[in-house]
Structure formats: structure tokens, C-alpha cells
Amino acid sequence: MTADGREVMERIAALAPVLASHAQACVEARRVVPESMAAMVKAQLFRITRPARAGGFELSLRVFGDAVGAVAEVCPSSAWILMVMGAHHFCLASWPEAAQDEVFGTPGEALVAGTLAWQGRARAVDGGYVVNGRWQFCSGVDNANWVMMGCADAESGAPAVHVVAPRAQVAVDDTWQVLGLEGTGSKDIIAEELFVPSYRAVDTRDLMRGSSPHALNHRSRVYRVSADAMLSLAVPAPLLGIARAMHASFIERTKQRRVIVTGARKAEHGPTQVRLAEAWAEIHAAELIVHDAQALMAWAAESEQTAATDMGYRARVKWQAAYAAELCRRAAARMYAAAGAHAVYNAGEIQRGYRDISVGAQHASIDFDSSAELYARQRLGLLSRPA
């Protein structure tokens, strides 16, 4: 069974009440609760980016981003997990087919958490690698049955391989005490002398450049892009959904508020109206920037040239993703500042959105300063070779 973009959005609309009713439970549990995970699995949302050869929908990054954003409007925690696992399922299309078949053949549903940053170490041995280390920010690990880990070479420290292993083979350290996005359960994982067979590994450089030969063996060309740029572009999707929901709440709250001293309606207050308009413009601009980057990634996937090793599109996508996230952050800060004293309560949607966006915008793949520098250096001809 397959689905197109329209059907995916219809499924999300149908399950939205379930996700909304459990959104606060996710925050309190500091993980996505079973009811929300079951609803997303039943709707097959984790198959959006999964290869068709492995039973997935193999849809575009535009559909993926729109789906994540729609979920984020009702449950940011669920949206973040959908984003992270969807990105990992996308990456798995670059693994050897034996690994794809094993992971995606998991009974029930394949759910891959992990950390793409090469925080651990791997040393080559007969038949595979021995992996050791600690990986931070493993979103959704409590709900996963597989984990993906980036590894540096045990001796040189240079990027080496990315591996995938059963979730049961790593330990989880509950470090997730944070400002926002508590429901994502982004805890640490630890591996000690973990053997990973070679077919469950892929060269990090091939993955990050989009040049794995296994990415060519699919129905479409969608997987022939940089995993690094793809992940960067995925991160703003939940932030956009949170920002849209926050903006709607800000409008409703403003309609009801009155100035304590004079009793005047806040909706009639000019500066408040300006803040509302500017926040909408920032959110809308972020959406347009993301859509433009998605189109650029689609071009790169279809290009017959060496797009996989072209640092130009990769630097531009990362910068557009980072700037879109920054626009969402600015809009959130603008609305929170204008929402009044009652916005400080934890139960408030405006405060919740402000904290969730603040945390999500800190993601390393969309670091504002480094993404800006990378793009500027590329445009100035200061990058001597592809990353």
C-alpha cells in the first residue's frame, strides 16, 4: 500500500485530535507517549521517506516537510520525532540493500532513532566495526527499535562510518532535562565494544555528500542528495508548525486581552498590531525560504552533473534552513514579548511555543553562525574542496 502527498495530509488531519489530546502527556512523560506513536504508525507517517523497495512511500522532501509541520501544529513532540526518524529513514536508502532489508523488515514498524554527528569511535575489524562512545540528543530513543550512529576513526578522529544497530544493543542515559521540547526524549545513548557488521555501515563521506552507490538503486532520484543538507532542511519544518500554532494563539489571546489600567482592548493597540503583522511576515518568509531550498534539493537529486559533490547547493541549503529557523525564533520572541504577564504560565500555548522553538533552533545542523560562514565562504570562493 502506498500514499501520495494529499493522502498523507488527509491522514494527519484525521489523527490530529489524538495527537492534540496527548500533547501535554508527552511533555510530562518527557517522551512521545504510546498513544501518539501508535497513531502515527497506524497512519504510516514513518514511511513518507522510506524507500519504495522497502515498503515505503518514497515521497519528496516537500511532502515530508509539510507533513512534519502539520503535526507540529498540534503536537511539537510528535512532530520532532517524525522529523528525526523520517530523516534517518531517508538516510538508510544510502546503506547497503542488506541493511535496508533487515531494518525495514522489522516486525510492526521500523523506527530508527540516533545521532548523525560522529560523536563515537569505530575501529575496523574482520567483518565489520567495533563501536564505542556516547551520543547526545538521541531523539525518540524510547520509541525506537534501531539506532543510527555517526563514528569517527578510532585512531585519527576523522569522520569514518555511520552505522545502524538494534536499539537493545545500546544503553540509554536519561540526560534530557531541558528548556523546551521535553517530549522528544532526546537522551544520550552509550555503546561499549559493540560489533556492527560491515553491511550495516556506510562511509560517512559518501553519506554526507549523497554519493553512496546504494542511493542509485531506487525508484526515484530523491536519495541522491547530501544527507547533511537534507537533515538541515528537515529541522525548520517542526519549527514552522509550532510558529503557525503560536501565531494563531497570539491572535486569539490578543482579541480577549484588555489593558489593565485603561481597560482598552489590546486588539486596538497599534504596536500590538505591528508585532502581529511582523511575526506573520517572518513565519511566511521562513516558509518561502524552506520551499525554495526544497526545490533546490529536488534539482540536485535530478541533476546529471556532479551535484552530490557540489558544495554550492549544500552550503546554500544549510544557510536557508538556518535562516528560516532564525526567523521562526524571532517571530516567537516577538509574540511572547507582546503576550503579557499571563504568558509566563507553563500551561500557556504561547509560552510553550516560545520555549519549543528556542530549543529546536539550537540544533547543531542549523547553527546560525557556522551556516552563515560556510555559505559566505563558498560564495567568496574560499572553499578549496567539497566537504
Residue 306 has pLDDT above 50, yes or no: no
Q: What is the pLDDT of residues 266-276, one digit of tens each?
A: 899 899 999 99
Do 16 and 122 lie in one domain? The reply is no
Q: How many CB atoms sit inside 10 A of residue 16's CB? A: 16
Residues 231 and 298 reside in one and the same domain: yes
Is the pLDDT reported for residue 41 higher than 60? yes
For residues 324 and 267, membership in a common domain is answered with yes
Q: Which whole number is the average pLDDT over 312-335? A: 96
User: Residue 298: phi, psi to the nearest 5?
Assistant: -65, -40
CA angle 133, 174, 17 (to 5 degrees): 120
Q: Considering the domain boundaries, does residue 274 fall inside one?
A: yes
**Same-domain pairing of 268 and 298:** yes
Whether residue 215 lies inside any domain: the answer is no
Summarize pLDDT for 72-116 with one digit per residue, the tens: 999 999 999 999 999 999 999 999 999 999 999 999 999 999 999
Same domain, 258 and 284: yes
**219: in domain:** no
Inter-residue contact 94 to 87 (CB < 8 Å): no
pTM: 0.96
Classify residue 313: in a domain, yes or no: yes
Whether 158 and 301 share a structural domain: no
Do 347 and 353 contact (CB within 8 A), yes or no?
Answer: no
Look at residues 55, 79, 104 and tell me which one is the last residue of a structural domain: 104
Q: From the CA atom positions of the chain, what is the Rg in Å?
A: 21
User: Do 316 and 359 lie in a common domain?
Assistant: yes
Is pLDDT at 56 greater than 50 in this prediction?
Answer: yes
Which residues form the domain of 287?
227-379
CATH number of the domain at 181, please. 2.40.110.10
Given a cut of 90, whether residue 258 has pLDDT beyond it is no
330 assigned to some structural domain: yes
- State the CATH number of the domain containing residue 280: 1.20.140.10
| Residue 47: pLDDT band with limits 50, 70, 90 | very high
234 and 166 co-located in one domain: no
**Residue 297: inside a domain, yes or no?**
yes
pLDDT band at 63 (very low <50, low <70, confident <90, very high): very high
Give a yes or no: residue 220 inside a domain. Answer: no
Greater pLDDT, 387 or 187: 187
Cell of 315: 552550503
Please check whether residues 258 and 359 belong to one and the same domain: yes
Give the total residue count for the chain: 387
Q: Determine how many CB atoms are found less than 10 A away from the CB of residue 93.
A: 27
Report residue 285 as a C-alpha cell.
Answer: 518568509
Residue 65 confidence class, pLDDT cut points 50, 70, 90: very high
pLDDT for residue 304? 64
- Shared domain for 341 and 241, answered yes or no, is yes
- What sign results for the dihedral spanned by CA atoms 264, 270, 275, 279? positive
Q: How large a percentage of the chain has pLDDT more than 90? A: 87
Q: Is 193 left (phi over 0), alpha (psi -120 to 50) or beta?
A: left
The tally of domains found in the chain comes to: 3
pLDDT at residue 310 is higher than 80: no
Helices (H) and strands (E) in the chain, counts: 13, 7
Lowest-pLDDT range, 225-234, 283-292, 313-322, 337-346? 337-346
Same domain for 138 and 93, yes or no, is no
Output the nine-digit C-alpha cell for 380.
567568496
Predicted pLDDT of residue 1: 66
CATH of the domain at 60: 1.10.540.10
Ranges of H-type helices in 217-269: 227-234, 236-256
Which of 83, 104, 125 is the last residue before a domain boundary? Answer: 104
Long-range contact pairs involving 292-298 (C-beta distance under 8 Å, separation at least 24): 292/320, 293/233, 293/317, 293/320, 293/321, 293/324, 294/60, 294/61, 294/62, 294/65, 294/233, 295/62, 296/320, 297/61, 297/225, 297/229, 297/230, 297/233, 298/60, 298/61, 298/62, 298/222
Q: Which of 188, 203, 218 is the last residue of a domain?
A: 203
Cell of 258: 484588555
Q: What is the pLDDT of residue 383?
A: 78
Instruction: Report if residue 210 sits inside a domain.
Output: no
Asked which of 80-84, 146-150, 341-345 is least confident by mean pLDDT, the reply is 341-345
Same domain, 187 and 86: no
pLDDT at 370: 96
The C-alpha cell that represents 263 in the structure block: 481597560
